Chain A
Amino acid sequence: MKPDTPLTEGRLYLWWSRMAAMTGKELLQLGRDTLLVGAVLYLFTLDIMMAGGVKMDLNQGTVMVHDADHSRASRELIYRFQPPYFKLGGEILDQNEGIRLLDQGKALVVLDIPPQFQHDLIQGKPTSVQVQVDTSNTVLGTLAANYSAQIIGKYSFDAALQRIGLAEESLAGVPMLVDQHRVWYNPNQKDAWFMSISELLTVITVLAMMLPAAAAVREKERGTIEQLVVSPLTPVQILLPKVIAMTLVILLGTAMSVGLVLYGYFHIPIKGSLPLFFAVTALYTFAMSGLGLFISTISRNLAQAAMLTIMIMMPIILLSGAWTPPEAMPPGIRQAMYLSPLYYYIEMAYGILLKGAGLKVLWDSLLGLGLLGSLVFGFGVWRFRKQFG
């Protein structure tokens, strides 16, 4: 087959029918591995549902109290540690017990109210309350410390007002700022919205790399690649059907996930255009499958491919901005984020699904993904052709 002969209708038909046959073969091969199909189905449905059940915010952290005052004032302060952030675990008699409970992870916060607490308040003497926080998990510890400081700050403010003889009803006569927060895109700050979308994007990333890589390496490992190479198929005709088949599977899974889990189960109001979302997903899957193909050219067996996939996937997920805010990253790593295709995809996926953003806003991310994607995919195909052409 000379590439420079003009494509007649018959040749074009032949080309497409070979592509279709190969794509069909890939789908059939995938479909016969029931365990694999089961795993893919699970990842797109139950796994995302489970991820959505996870909460990131502090949820009923246990507060133990050492109250040396036992007064009305101290009780009032203690009872401000309430759900959703805190729950009162009970009273302890001495400080050592507090340390022991913190050691065992049975308490997150130990509140220590000094003797004479109420007395000092009435006298107008400044007093302090000791808050010990377990910060062995920094995320949780920071949240607990911040919320405790907020609660005590508010208590202190109220106590000050009471001290100078201003009851709650006459607050209109005090100069103060009143916090009014409006949270956009996820007004009730439901973690499930973030977590389920984030998990879906991770699943897409894992599958878009692993499935084509595995499909290609398996042929190498079993030797069936030799049969394909001696057939009239060109390298692109061997390669593209794998990518197309896996993209189809992933798009199908994504559709199921968006329909059943995101919309059906978590009631995420899909604000933007779904066709745009699927187009972007297809583009992203193509880009990532380029990486998968690249992996398949370096590895001789699946064990190698699996480890390489994880090794490439981890930084991509980490540098995507879903878990680690880009603006808080040190300068070098921040620039490296622009090399992660997932960074652009996350921006667009959240933009379309939650914010209702369209191309007018997202064109720069799309351009970034398009450029990076064609580079990665082109590289993968080039490596593959070099090896089997």
Chain B
Amino acid sequence: MNLLRIKALAYKEWREILRDRLFLSLAFILPVSMMLIFGYGMKMDVENIPFAVLDQDRTAMSRDYLHLFMDSRYFDYKGHVESERELEPLLADSRIRFAIIVPPQFQESLLAGKPVAVQSLIDGTFPFRTSTSKGYVIAINAAFNGKLLAGFISQRMGISPEQAAALAQPVKPQLRYLYNQELKSIWSIAPSMIMFILLMTPPFLTALGVVREKENGSIYNIYSSTVTRGEFLAGKLLPYVGISIVNVLLLWLLAVTLFGAPFKGDPLFFFGASIIYVTCTTGIGLLVSLFARTQVAAMMITVVVTIVPAVLYSGLLVPIASMDAASQFEAHLFPAMYYTDIALGSFLKGIGMGQLWGRVAALLLYTLVLWTASYLLFHKRVRA
């Protein structure tokens, strides 16, 4: 390893990046704009669910019941229908996602002390929204049931409504939301986005940078020079790792200032782990570039090995804990998951090396494997 040669190579690469103005600006604009778009646009909260009502009872009690839905911020009342048949086209066209059907004799049965079945039709196209909507319906029905039961108890046992209400709900859940008391989704999205963006952009920059030399043929200059494999890889990638480290800082600043995510952990630990992470993801790009002969192929493969796992196996949209065994196994094969834990841990939980050393070790191992594999696969001799 000759440090002077590495420096020269890195400088050459840096000049090349500097001269490609569009590329250079995109290298910084892309991560920042992705952070802004996702930070402002990524709302996973299920609210304002459009719904319709079929009230076959039309009594004071059924109206009271339906008002629980209409007044809820989770639901958005779209109107009454006259028959069940009218609901189908509304659901098919996504004009409503949910419908509630109050049966005839709703009030009569309840006053007579009999149970009543209330039907809800839910659009199952988006299962996550379906189960959340279902949860809201169950909660509203449970609240209504609590009141019914309190009334029933007070009548039957001849006690005051307040005493009856206490009897009707003897156990109260006391929920404590740890790490994110107000359930602000941006608090968990902002740190996850740092993971996502830094998984995607460094491999793209690297893979295209290396394959461009292959496709243009300028790599033959390297082949015929005295530069060794190790020196080439180090020098070539240094600028890209540098760009990514600057991006770590930019994204961190955005998350903390613009989106107001709390950073409770140790900044030094976080930046150290982040540098390992970007070195690792840069290594992914490097490995891809050694296989691909054309930039198009490099681009496609990078999409396959980064975007897909970043979306599916990182915990960004789908929590790792709720995956089945096979997917969990796959998630452990990608570096994204470890860094998600580090980012969320540093930001929201305020934990550091003590708890997260295993994750950091996994990233280090990943980086070592990638770079060693690249070193072994890179040859200065073209195979015939």
> Are A and B interaction partners?
yes
Query: B residues within 8 A CB of A311?
Result: 26, 29-30, 33-34
Q: A36-B294, A175-B113, A177-B145 are in contact. Are A160 and B344 (CB under 8 A)?
A: no
- Report if A130-B176 is in contact (Cβ < 8 Å); known contacts: A57-B127, A59-B324, A361-B93: yes
Contact status B76-A178, CB under 8 Å: no
Within 160-196 of A, Cβ neighbours of B (below 8 Å) are at: 160-161, 163-164, 171-187, 189-191, 193-194
Is the beta-carbon distance between A179 and B120 smaller than 8 angstroms?
yes
Tell me the nearest residue of chain B to A307, going by C-beta.
B26
Chain B min CB distance to A291 (Å): 16
**CB contact list, A127-146 vs B, under 8 A:** 127-143, 145-146
Interface residues of B in 310-341 (CB under 8 A from A): 312-313, 315, 317-319, 321-324, 326-327, 330, 341
Contact with B along A53-97 (1 / 0, CB 8 A): 111111111100000000000000100000000000000000000
Given the contacts A50-B330, A146-B135, A333 and B41 also touching, CB distance less than 8 Å:
yes
**9 more CB-based (< 8 A) A-B contacts, given A142-B132, A148-B173, A180-B119:** A39-B300, A51-B308, A126-B166, A134-B178, A177-B141, A178-B115, A302-B295, A306-B208, A327-B49
Chain A: minimal CB distance from B53 (Å)? 15
- Identify the stretch in A279-287, A350-358, A370-378 within 8 Å (CB) of chain B at 4 or more residues: A350-358
Query: Are A303's CB and B312's CB within 8 A?
Result: no
Q: How far is B47's CA from A325's CA once the two chains are assembled, in angstroms?
A: 8
A147: Cβ under 8 A from any B Cβ: yes
Contact B120–A57 (Cβ < 8 Å): no
Chain A residues whose C-beta falls within 8 Å of the C-beta of B181 in the assembled complex: 135
| Docked complex Cα distance between A135 and B189 (Å) | 12
Q: Are the C-beta atoms of A172 and B115 separated by less than 8 Å? A: yes
Contact bitstring B26-46, A, C-beta under 8 A = 1, else 0: 110110011001101111111
Size of interface on A: residues with Cβ below 8 Å to B: 129
Pick from A138, A159, A304: contact of B185, CB under 8 Å? A138
What separation, in Å, do the CA atoms of A38 and B76 have in the docked complex?
46
Q: A36-B296, A186-B124 are known contacts. Are A156 and B344 too (CB-CB below 8 A)?
A: no
CA A206 to CA B303, docked complex, whole Å: 9
Query: When the two chains form their complex, are residues B124 and A185 in contact, meaning their CB atoms are under 8 A apart?
Result: yes
| Contacts A104-B355, A186-B127, A214-B299 given; does A42 touch B304 at CB 8 Å | yes
The one of A130, A134, A218 in contact with B296, judged by C-beta atoms closer than 8 angstroms, is A218
Contact status A184-B122, CB under 8 Å: yes
**Contact check: which of B33, B93, B127 meets A194 at CB < 8 Å?**
B127
B378 an interface residue at 8 Å Cβ cutoff? no
Most-contacted residue by chain A among B43, B129, B170, B299 (CB, 10 A): B170
Cα of A154 to Cα of B142 in the assembled complex, Å: 8
A149 interfacial by beta-carbon distance below 8 Å: yes
Assembly CA distance A148 to B330 (angstroms): 29
B105: Cβ under 8 A from any A Cβ: no
Would you call A318 an interface residue if the criterion is a C-beta within 8 Å of the partner chain's C-beta atoms?
yes
Indicate whether B184 reaches chain A with its CB closer than 8 angstroms. Answer: yes
**Given A39-B297, A105-B341, A177-B145, do A56 and B322 touch, yes or no (CB 8 Å)?**
yes
Alpha-carbon distance A42/B122, docked complex (angstroms): 34
Asked if B178 and A133 make an inter-chain contact with CB atoms under 8 angstroms apart, the answer reads: yes
CB distance B171 to A155 under 8 Å?
yes
Cβ of B188 and Cβ of A160 under 8 Å apart? no
The 6 closest A-B pairs by CB, nearest first: A186-B124, A303-B208, A59-B322, A302-B295, A140-B319, A39-B300
Expressed in whole angstroms, the Cα–Cα distance for A77 and B171 within the complex equals: 10
B323 in complex: contacting residue of A47, A59, A183, CB < 8 Å: A59
Q: Which residues of B contact A160 (CB under 8 A)?
A: 149, 153, 167-170
> A173 and B178: CB pair below 8 A?
no
Contacts of B130 in A (CB 8 A): 183, 186, 189
Measured between beta carbons, the chain A residues less than 8 angstroms from B212 are: 301-303
The minimal Cβ–Cβ distance linking A367 to chain B, given in whole angstroms, is 13
B5 adjacent to chain A (CB < 8 Å): no
Given contacts A53-B327, A105-B341, A184-B122, contact A176 B115 (CB under 8 A): yes
Closest B residue by C-beta to A355: B92
Does A33 sit within 8 A of B, measured CB to CB? yes
Q: Is A361 touching B92 in the complex (CB atoms < 8 A)?
A: yes
Whole-angstrom distance from the CB of A92 to the nearest CB of chain B? Answer: 15
Q: Is the CB of B321 within 8 A of A302?
A: no
Residue A324, interface by CB 8 Å: yes
Instruction: Give the nearest-CB partner of B165 in chain A.
Output: A126
Digit string of B129-152 for contact with A (CB within 8 Å is 1, else 0)? Answer: 111101101110110111011011
Closest to A188 in B: B124
> Is A20's beta carbon under 8 Å from chain B?
no
The reply to whether B44 and A304 contact each other, CB–CB distance below 8 Å, is no
B248 CB–A CB distance under 8 Å:
no
CA gap between A347 and B330 in the complex, in Å? 30
Interface status of B121 (Cβ within 8 A of chain A): yes
19 contacts between A and B (CB under 8 A): A57-B127, A126-B166, A131-B174, A132-B176, A150-B139, A152-B171, A160-B153, A160-B169, A175-B109, A177-B116, A177-B145, A181-B122, A193-B127, A210-B300, A318-B37, A324-B43, A333-B41, A356-B92, A361-B92
A157 at the interface (CB under 8 A from B): yes
Q: Could you say which residues of chain B place their CB within 8 Å of the CB of A226?
A: none
In the bound complex, what is the Cα–Cα distance between A354 and B123 (angstroms)?
11
User: In the assembled complex, which residues on chain A have CB atoms less than 8 Å from the CB atom of B172?
Assistant: 126-129, 152, 156
